[in-house]
Structure 1
Amino acid sequence: MKRFVKALGLTAAMSLALVGCSNDEGSSSDGGKVTLTAWAWNVNVGALNDAVKMYEEENPNVDLKVEDIGRLDVYDKLSTGLAAGGVGLPDIVLVEDDRIQGYVEAFPKGFLNLSEKGFTEHEDKFPDFKKELASFDGNFYAMPFDAGPGGMFYRRSLFEQAGVNAEDIKTWDDFLEAGKKIKDATGSYAMPLDKFKDDPTFRMMLNQLGVYYFDENGNIDLTSPKAVEAMEKLKAFADADLIKDVDGWNGVVSSTVDGSVATIPFGAWYYGTIIDQAKESSGDWGVFLLPGFEEDGNRASNLGGSSWMIPSAGKNTEEAYDFMEFFSTDPEVQNMAMSDYGLFPSLNTAYESELFTSGDEFFGGQKIWELFASEMENIPTAYYTQDYSLGLDESIKAQADVFNGKDVKQALEEAAKRLSDRSGREVNSY
């Protein structure tokens, strides 16, 4: 469990935000032995290395050489290699879900069409949003891996002190009223947020409402009624002084540890940070799903996640596909990645294990992983496009404008206009 905890803590910060070449030796076959090469970062490297040991039990002819490369460096190297026609690329590469569509849009021949290899037969094993993020024009170009189902991590003692029952919170309005009670009784804020540098709560709100910076056609959708509704709701918390303005990731963590916030809306991966950084608070934590925007409204959302892609220029595409198919669709492999590295699986057959049906002592015996798994099928798809980084930048600026007093609709319209000027994309009219 310690390994699980540390792994989740390491992956958490990376989920908030948003090239030397592999040598020929690493991607060669020698006397029938094939050595696959892969690029990944952080705990994903260990998961991949452990998985290949399991794979080698029945496939002794395959070895794996994983290069542990920084996340952004992977994208620099990948973009450079794709632009050069595949020069220096590995057999396998880890790509965050918010970048998959952009890569396939920019380099339509750069990655193996996995549907042509038969991966479509596994589509029922994954939630719709992961399938759509891993596909382009109806074909799989990535194998779904981990996800970040959203939830509200909360301090039981602060809720109890204010007489608030988490089970009674069904809507964001319910949470707003609960937040006021909690702050009056304890002095703790409802949630932390780096108001002027990041927008994770707004992103989760957009996602649960079924909208995002862009729509499924790639048009800018920041001015949709639902986007306005989400920003208005976030503004209501700020107006009530229920948002603690923190400085980046460290500010979020410190407010979690010191109890100055009662709730932290984040992806499932934040569990590891709580366990690792707030050790003295064992038993004082719980989780509930994101509040809905209306009674019986959708409460499922996602923040973070990645998938595996196979560059079409790789030397061993057949062997790479066979190994990654095993990695992506075997429940034992996915539960290993979860238990040892804190990587929440999107493979639905993995949820049948004891890991997901057991209570967690740190969280008061609550079956938190079962809760997170229960929302996976209801998470809407977020459409990122290759201009996601621009959308993120303009969304954060709009949020900052709102917190500085600008009208919500005006702030989003101005952000959409700037995004259109930068990307050349059309803005949806409402």
Structure 2
Amino acid sequence: MKKIFVMMTIIAALVISGCSSSSSGGKDGEVTLTAWAWNVNVGALNDAVKEYQKDHPNVKLKVEDIGRLDVYDKLSTGLAAGGVGLPDIVLVEDDRIQGYVQAFPQGFLDLSEKGFDDHKDKFPSFKNDLAQVDGKYFAMPFDAGPGGMFYRRSLFEEAGVKAEDIETWDDFLEAGKKIKEKTGSYAMPLDMFKDDPTFRMMLNQQGVFYYDEKGNIDLTSPEAVKAMEMQKKFADADLIKNVDGWNGVVSSTVDGSVAAIPFGAWYYGTIIDQAKGTKGDWGVFKLPAFEEGGNRASNLGGSSWMIPAASENTDAAYDFIEYFSTDKDTQIMAMEDYGLFPSLNTTYDSEVFTGEDEFFGGQKIWELFAEEMKDVPTAYYTKDYSVALDEAIKAQADTFNGKDPAKALEEAAKRLEDRTKRKAN
């Protein structure tokens, strides 16, 4: 009898221990979740939890507003230490998800085990691909960056250029020449020697990226060469304004020294915030294709939510983030208030997507962005994305300095291969 009592005590202790490891709380079952995020994502989380608390008054959320790169520094340090000091929820950009899960395979909660697979049809295929590793969800899709060409209507009109006539990159090249001649404004801005967002969008729309689906280096593909050659055409025609980082892009947007800016949908928020005096002078058209009838859908940026496996509140964290990621009204609120374009496709039939935007001359810009989401190819980042990005930027710089694009990409691919081999060893 004594042995049975001891055994029952041990079992009870294990059950209690198991429950507390996944959902710890305070008095009256209260749970306080912590989250790491940055910029406008902080406000979106805080607004969402207010709605969530109407049905879950026991759940509180403490959002720590940490700089984007600081989040990754702290996250990497915590994962390396076995989860010490990590939050219950963390925002991670899509290009980093694969690398984190591969580097720390036990570091994040397997969301498929919690049932997130049931939501697969609510997101475009490329967001599903980026949120999964080996067929299992480790992230919940959040915002996306469907690509477009933001343009100044007055500059196009002054040059006699119609946005609807631009279908290909060659069309835009000729339009850029007219605009430069008539107005003095460049076709587009780019930090030519430090970043390659336009090149990435060009790759993505063609269905390729730095790596292929199997993780092989793909910088020398015909599509990559075509993209780099196209950028060189614009540079040779003096149609690219070389700017200094993000601030340079924004200032050229505001002062009208560029006629168009190829970026993700999230740039809308920057335009309406930084260029308030230009209301009504803006429009958007899809990224030009490389040939008539070619794909014009692309994506730049976007992020998802992950739950560190070390969290003591995994059940509560999952329930809240599942709500945040899949609730239509919450996602629309995040877009309207913070400019965060939703990946959740059930939002696209709402009034905000079919309505006209006064700042953009009455254009239905959100409808345009929503239409392309289903056609965005998947970009395969891999764990070595940051190294590949560095080498792609070097290839771009070499091209702008006069090197043949194919040769510049070939040399970049070789350097990338050497660097990743050394890193692996």
Normalised-by-shorter TM-score class:
over 0.9
Partner of residue 364 from structure 1, selected from 361, 366, 381: 361
Q: Is the 8 A contact 1:27 1:90 kept in 2?
A: no
Counterpart of 1:168?
165
Q: Distance in 2 between matches of 1:247 and 1:373?
A: 31
The structure having more radius of gyration, on CA atoms, is: 2
Q: Is the 8 A contact 2:253 2:271 kept in 1?
A: yes
Residue aligned with 1:65, SS: strand
Counterpart of 2:190?
193
1:425 Cα deviation (Å)? 9.0
Partner of residue 107 from structure 1, selected from 104, 112, 129: 104
1:114 Cα deviation (Å)? 0.8
Counterpart of 1:97?
94
Partner of residue 40 from structure 2, selected from 40, 43, 56: 43
Counterpart of 2:237?
240
Q: Distance in 2 between matches of 1:103 and 1:75?
A: 10
Task: Kindly provide the CA deviation profile for residues 98-153 of structure 1, in whole angstroms up to 9, marking residues without a partner as x.
Answer: 10000011111111111111111110000111000000001110000001111001
Q: Distance in 1 between matches of 2:207 and 2:252?
A: 30
The one-letter amino acid of 2:368's match is L
Counterpart of 1:351?
348
Cα distance change of structure 1 residues 30 and 219 upon mapping to structure 2, 3 Å threshold: farther
Structure 2 residues not aligned, in runs of 5+: 1-20
Q: Distance in 2 between matches of 1:374 and 1:27?
A: 42
1:294 Cα deviation (Å)? 0.8
RMSD value over aligned CA atoms? 1.6
Task: Kindly provide the CA deviation profile for residues 36-81 of structure 1, in whole angstroms up to 9, marking residues without a partner as x.
Answer: 1111111111111111111111111211111111111111111111
Q: Is the 8 A contact 1:220 1:425 kept in 2?
A: no
Q: Distance in 2 between matches of 1:425 and 1:330?
A: 45
Partner of residue 278 from structure 2, selected from 268, 281, 284: 281
Q: Distance in 1 between matches of 2:250 and 2:69?
A: 23
Counterpart of 1:135?
132
Partner of residue 335 from structure 1, selected from 307, 332, 336: 332
**How many aligned residue pairs are there?**
402
Please tell me whether residue 147 in structure 1 is matched to residue 129 in structure 2.
no
Residue aligned with 1:149, SS: strand
1:31 Cα deviation (Å)? 2.9
1:163 Cα deviation (Å)? 1.4
Residue aligned with 1:264, SS: strand
Q: Distance in 1 between matches of 2:422 and 2:109?
A: 28
Q: Distance in 1 between matches of 2:101 and 2:276?
A: 43
Partner of residue 71 from structure 1, selected from 68, 71, 75: 68
Counterpart of 2:15?
none
Residue aligned with 1:31, SS: helix
Please tell me whether residue 295 in structure 1 is matched to residue 292 in structure 2.
yes
1:159 Cα deviation (Å)? 1.1
Q: Distance in 2 between matches of 1:253 and 1:67?
A: 27
Residue aligned with 1:114, SS: coil
Structure 1 residues not aligned, in runs of 5+: 1-23
Task: Kindly provide the CA deviation profile for residues 314-352 of structure 1, in whole angstroms up to 9, marking residues without a partner as x.
Answer: 101111111111000000110111111111110011122
Q: Distance in 1 between matches of 2:420 and 2:208?
A: 19
Q: Distance in 1 between matches of 2:338 and 2:247?
A: 22
1:424 Cα deviation (Å)? 1.8
1:172-251 aligned at under 5 Å gives the runs: 172-251=169-248
The one-letter amino acid of 1:295's match is E
Residue aligned with 1:115, SS: coil
Partner of residue 125 from structure 1, selected from 111, 122, 125: 122
Counterpart of 1:13?
none
Please tell me whether residue 258 in structure 1 is matched to residue 255 in structure 2.
yes
The one-letter amino acid of 1:93's match is V
Q: Is the 8 A contact 1:218 1:425 kept in 2?
A: no
When normalised by structure 1's length, the TM-score is 0.91
1:393 Cα deviation (Å)? 0.8
Counterpart of 1:5?
none
Q: Distance in 2 between matches of 1:270 and 1:359?
A: 18
Q: Distance in 1 between matches of 2:396 and 2:421?
A: 22
Please tell me whether residue 414 in structure 1 is matched to residue 411 in structure 2.
yes
1:367-382 aligned at under 5 Å gives the runs: 367-382=364-379
1:272 Cα deviation (Å)? 1.7
Residue aligned with 2:304, SS: strand
1:30 Cα deviation (Å)? 3.0
Q: Distance in 2 between matches of 1:84 and 1:222?
A: 35
Residue aligned with 1:116, SS: coil
Residue aligned with 1:117, SS: coil
1:29 Cα deviation (Å)? 3.2
Cα distance change of structure 1 residues 117 and 166 upon mapping to structure 2, 3 Å threshold: same
Partner of residue 317 from structure 2, selected from 310, 315, 320: 320
1:410 Cα deviation (Å)? 0.8
Residue aligned with 2:107, SS: coil
1:280 Cα deviation (Å)? 2.0
Counterpart of 1:272?
269
Counterpart of 1:398?
395
Q: Is the 8 A contact 2:269 2:338 kept in 1?
A: no
When normalised by structure 2's length, the TM-score is 0.92
Q: Is the 8 A contact 1:27 1:91 kept in 2?
A: no
Q: Distance in 2 between matches of 1:81 and 1:334?
A: 29
